[in-house]
Structure 1
Amino acid sequence: MLLRMMDAGRGRFALAGAIIIAALVVLPVAVLAAHAWMADVEHWAHLAQFVLPQALRNTVLLLLGVGLVCAVLGTGSAWLVTAYDFPGRGVLAWALLLPLAVPTYIVAFAYLDLLHPIGPIQTALRTLLGYDSPRQFRLPDLRSLQGAIFVLGFVLYPYVYLTTRAMFLTQSASLLEAARTLGASRLQVFREVALPLARPAIAVGMSLALLETLNDIGASEFLGVQTLTVSIYTTWTTRSDLGAAAQIALSMLALVLALILLERHGRRRQRFANTQRMRPMQPHRLHGLPAAGALVLGGLPVVLGFVLPTAYLINESVKRLNLVGSISSALLQALGNTVLVAVSATVLTVACGLMLAWAGRSLRESTRRLLPRACVRMASLGYAVPGTVLAIGLLPPLLWADRVLGQVLQYSGLLLMGSSAALVLAYAIRFLAIPAGGIEAGLLRIPPSLEQASRLLGESSGRTLWRVHLPLLKPALAASALLVFVDTMKELPATLLLRPLNFETLATWLYAEAARGTYEEGAVAALAIVLTGLLPVILLARTQASRGHH
Structure 2
Amino acid sequence: MKHSISLSWKAGSWLLAFLLFTPVLSLFYEAVSPTGEIFSHLLNTVLVDYIINSIILITGVGVLGLLFALPPAWIMANCDIPGKRYLQWLLVLPLAMPSYVVAYIYTDLFEYAGTVQVFLRDLMGWQTAADYYFPDIRSMGGAVFILALVLYPYLYMLARTALLEQSESQRLASRLLGCSPLQSVLKVSLPMARPAIITGLSLMGIEALADFATVSYFAIPTLTTAVYDTWLGYGSLNAAAKLSAIMLLVVTLLISTEKYSRRRLKLFQKTAGHEQKEMLKLKGWANILAQSWCWLLVIAGFAFPAAVLMNYAVDNFAISFNTQLLNYALNSLKVATGAALFAVITAILLGIYQRLESNRLASVPSRIVSTGYALPGNVLAIGVLIPLTQLDHGVNNLIMSFGYDPIGLIFSGSVFAIIFAYAVRFSAVAVGSVESSLGRISPSLDMASRSLGCTPASMVSKVHLPLIRRGILTGFLLVFVESMKELPAALLLRPFGFESLATWVFQYASDEKMEQAAIAALLLIVAGLIPLILLNRSLESDQR
Q: TM-score, normalised by structure 2?
A: 0.94
Aligned match of 2:511: 516
Distance 1:272 1:474, change over 3 A: farther
Instruction: Name the CA distance, whole Å, in 2 between partners of 1:210 and 1:280.
Output: 35
The percentage of aligned residue pairs carrying the same residue is 38
State the shift of 1:210 in Å: 1.1
Equivalence map 1:59-74=2 (5 Å): 59-74=54-69
Aligned match of 2:520: 525
The answer as to 2:216 corresponding to 1:213 is no
Instruction: Name the CA distance, whole Å, in 1 between partners of 2:278 and 2:122.
Output: 46
What is the SS of the residue equivalent to 2:32? helix
State the shift of 1:452 in Å: 1.7
Q: Pick one of 11, 26, 35 that aligns with 1:16.
A: 11
Q: Pick one of 316, 319, 325 that aligns with 2:315.
A: 319
Aligned match of 2:413: 418
The answer as to 2:371 corresponding to 1:381 is yes
The answer as to 2:395 corresponding to 1:405 is yes
Q: Pick one of 333, 338, 344 that aligns with 2:332.
A: 338
Instruction: Name the CA distance, whole Å, in 2 between partners of 1:236 and 1:299.
Output: 42
Counterpart residue type for residue 298 of structure 1: C
Aligned match of 1:304: 300
Aligned match of 1:485: 480
Residues 66-125 of structure 1, C-alpha deviation per residue, up to 9 Å, x if partnerless? Answer: 111112222221001112111112211111100111122222232222223222333345
Residues 205-238 of structure 1, C-alpha deviation per residue, up to 9 Å, x if partnerless? Answer: 1111111112110011001111101100000000
Q: Pick one of 276, 279, 294 that aligns with 2:275.
A: 279
Q: Is the 8 A contact 1:14 1:362 kept in 2?
A: no
What is the SS of the residue equivalent to 2:219? coil
Which deviates more from structure 2 when the two are superposed, residues 239-248 or residues 32-41?
32-41
Which deviates more from structure 2 when the two are superposed, residues 122-131 or residues 227-236?
122-131
Aligned match of 2:171: 176
Q: Is the 8 A contact 1:391 1:426 kept in 2?
A: yes
Structure 2 residues not aligned, in runs of 5+: none
Q: Is the 8 A contact 1:204 1:266 kept in 2?
A: no
Counterpart residue type for residue 189 of structure 1: S
State the shift of 1:250 in Å: 0.9
Counterpart residue type for residue 166 of structure 2: Q
Which deviates more from structure 2 when the two are superposed, residues 475-484 or residues 167-176?
475-484
Equivalence map 1:64-463=2 (5 Å): 64-126=59-121, 131=126, 136-137=131-132, 139-271=134-266, 273-274=268-269, 276=271, 278-321=274-317, 323-324=318-319, 327-364=321-358, 367-368=359-360, 371-407=361-397, 410=404, 411-463=406-458
State the shift of 1:42 in Å: 3.9
State the shift of 1:243 in Å: 0.7
Instruction: Name the CA distance, whole Å, in 1 between partners of 2:447 and 2:264.
Output: 36
Q: Is the 8 A contact 1:18 1:379 kept in 2?
A: no
State the shift of 1:482 in Å: 1.1
What is the SS of the residue equivalent to 2:263? coil
Distance 1:126 1:459, change over 3 A: farther
Distance 1:80 1:115, change over 3 A: same
State the shift of 1:180 in Å: 0.7
What is the SS of the residue equivalent to 1:65? helix
What is the SS of the residue equivalent to 2:173? helix
Distance 1:530 1:124, change over 3 A: farther
What is the SS of the residue equivalent to 1:38? coil
Counterpart residue type for residue 399 of structure 1: T
Q: TM-score, normalised by structure 1?
A: 0.93
Which deviates more from structure 2 when the two are superposed, residues 173-182 or residues 415-424?
415-424
Q: Is the 8 A contact 1:199 1:266 kept in 2?
A: no
Counterpart residue type for residue 376 of structure 2: P
State the shift of 1:420 in Å: 1.0
Instruction: Name the CA distance, whole Å, in 1 between partners of 2:48 and 2:538.
Output: 43
State the shift of 1:450 in Å: 1.0
State the shift of 1:161 in Å: 0.6
Counterpart residue type for residue 309 of structure 1: P
Distance 1:484 1:400, change over 3 A: same
Q: Is the 8 A contact 2:4 2:456 kept in 1?
A: no
State the shift of 1:545 in Å: 2.7
Distance 1:175 1:503, change over 3 A: same
Q: Is the 8 A contact 2:5 2:357 kept in 1?
A: no
Counterpart residue type for residue 51 of structure 2: L
Q: Is the 8 A contact 1:100 1:155 kept in 2?
A: yes
Residues 317-365 of structure 1, C-alpha deviation per residue, up to 9 Å, x if partnerless? Answer: 11111x54x612222211110011111111111110111222221232x
Q: Is the 8 A contact 2:434 2:472 kept in 1?
A: yes
Instruction: Name the CA distance, whole Å, in 2 between partners of 1:463 and 1:271.
Output: 42
Which deviates more from structure 2 when the two are superposed, residues 144-153 or residues 70-79?
70-79
Instruction: Name the CA distance, whole Å, in 2 between partners of 1:79 and 1:497.
Output: 41
Counterpart residue type for residue 80 of structure 2: D
Instruction: Name the CA distance, whole Å, in 1 between partners of 2:190 and 2:201.
Output: 15
Distance 1:126 1:483, change over 3 A: farther
Equivalence map 1:498-513=2 (5 Å): 498-513=493-508
Residues 470-529 of structure 1, C-alpha deviation per residue, up to 9 Å, x if partnerless? Answer: 111122111111111110000001001111110000111112112222221222221110
State the shift of 1:453 in Å: 1.4
Q: Is the 8 A contact 1:203 1:267 kept in 2?
A: no
Distance 1:502 1:542, change over 3 A: same
Counterpart residue type for residue 159 of structure 1: Y
Equivalence map 1:33-48=2 (5 Å): 33-40=28-35, 42-48=37-43
Q: Is the 8 A contact 1:56 1:227 kept in 2?
A: yes
Instruction: Give structure 1 regions of 4+ aligned residues with deviation exceeding 6 angstroms.
Output: none
Instruction: Name the CA distance, whole Å, in 1 between partners of 2:389 and 2:288.
Output: 60
What's the RMSD between the two structures over aligned residues?
Answer: 2.0
